[in-house]
């Protein structure tokens, strides 16, 4: 692969967490740092691609001038941005850790402490990859991520099929050094008829492995 391997290709990437507000000062979120998604964005850009990065709240800045960032906060905002950008994308990579649920009602003022319990009713967020998978255009290549704690391969394969993905990147919280809050990751890339496992590596190196395999599948 060369610096121009993805020249004239548009890559749409999601990265980071989403924050679902409870009131003006609190939210439901997760531990995603966005490091994996941003590493992928930099890797694609270094290979000549135009990168559209839809990013949740992170403390990272993109270095490449070829990366255009659309900042979002909630799952609904991320879905709206991705839906708008998806038709022009050649490759879509869903690397964000999108919250599965959000509060049904968001208080307009800070909820004051009262009593020993607080009940918050949650409603399901849209599954962005699944929703866009139903609108996937011919020739578009899509990649999902699955962070699992049990039945890892079976759960990932189910997502691969249900979300109409071409490949899914599986990592397990059972592997030391993998998942959130680390600069390293250990992934297994699952496709319909292939499984490729990698050792624990820096996330920048993991990004290269993923991008290399995407190139092989789209240019092979």
3-state SS, one letter per residue, for the chain = CCCCCCCCCEEEEEECECCEEEECCEEECCCCCCHHHHHHHHHHHHCCCEEEEEECCCCCCCCCCCEEEEECCCHHHHHHHHHHHHHHCCEEEECCECCCEEECCCCCCCCCCCCCCCCCCEEECCCHHHHHHCCCCCCCEEEEEEEECCCHHHHHHHHHHHCCCCEEEEEECCCCCCCCCCCEECCEEEECCCEEECCCEEHHHHHHHHHHHHHHHHHC
Q: Which pairing describes strands 10-15 and 50-55: parallel, antiparallel, or unpaired?
A: parallel
Task: Write down the catalytic residue from 30, 68, 155, 164.
Answer: 30
List Cα–Cα distances, 148 to 57, 188, 193, 210, in angstroms.
22, 12, 21, 18
> Is 30 in the active site?
yes
> Which residues are known catalytic residues?
30
């Amino acid at each position: 692969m060369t610096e121009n391997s993805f020249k004239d290709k548009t890559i749409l990437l999601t990265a980071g967490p989403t924050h679902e507000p409870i009131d003006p000062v609190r939210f439901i979120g997760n531990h995603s740092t966005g490091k994996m998604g941003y590493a992928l964005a930099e890797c694609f850009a270094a290979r000549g691609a135009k990168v559209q990065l839809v990013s949740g709240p992170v403390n990272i800045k993109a270095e490449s001038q070829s990366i255009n960032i659309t900042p979002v906060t909630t799952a609904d905002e991320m879905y709206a941005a991705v839906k708008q950008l998806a038709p022009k994308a050649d490759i879509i990579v869903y690397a964000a850790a999108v919250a599965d649920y959000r509060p049904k009602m968001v208080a307009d003022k800070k909820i004051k402490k009262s009593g020993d319990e607080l009940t918050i009713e949650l409603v399901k967020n849209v599954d962005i990859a699944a929703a866009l998978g139903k609108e996937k255009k011919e020739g578009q290549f899509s990649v999902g991520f699955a962070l699992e704690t049990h039945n890892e391969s079976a759960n990932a394969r189910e997502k691969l099929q249900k979300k109409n993905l071409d490949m899914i990147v599986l990592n397990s919280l059972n592997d030391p050094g993998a998942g959130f809050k680390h600069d390293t990751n250990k992934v297994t890339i699952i496709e319909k008829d292939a499984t490729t496992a990698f050792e624990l590596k820096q996330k920048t190196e993991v990004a290269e492995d993923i991008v290399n395999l995407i190139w092989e599948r789209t240019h092979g």
